[in-house]
Amino acid sequence: MLLDSNILIYAANGDHPGIEALVTSPDNAVASVTQIEVYGFTGLTPGEKSALDVLFRVLTVYPLDSSVIECAIALRQRRKMGLADAVIAATSLISQRPLVTRNADDFSDISGLKLINPFYT
């Protein structure tokens, strides 16, 4: 699975044990822009930073390569979306991994993108 930034923040803050267990699977990955988003989060505490440091030692980080860039450009040409969301969605599509996010509505109309919202019941 490809993990969205919000999922990593929830895992790092320790308030969601189920999310922590989901995130720590060694098969999971993140887009490179996710590192920028989570470490740049204004409310990040030292404890959360430490938890993120551990996660990023385990997770695969997909680079921002030409295929992801081209896909992100195409997504942004089709619909209004932020740069980070476009890169994350493109990384999910290119890697053929489902995107795990609490913000599924932000990505819901992207053809071929598989979404998992672990908070949806």
pLDDT band at 26 (very low <50, low <70, confident <90, very high): confident
Give the length of the chain. 121
* Domains of the chain, CATH where assigned: 2-116 (3.40.50.1010)
Token reading at 94: 């290119």
Q: Are 24 and 47 in contact (CB under 8 A)?
A: no
The pLDDT tens digits for 34-72 are 999 999 988 889 999 999 999 899 899 999 999 999 999
The alpha carbon of 12 is separated from its chain's Cα centroid by a whole number of angstroms, namely: 14
Phi, psi of 64 (to 5 degrees): -85, 90
Calpha distance 77→17 (Å, rounded): 38
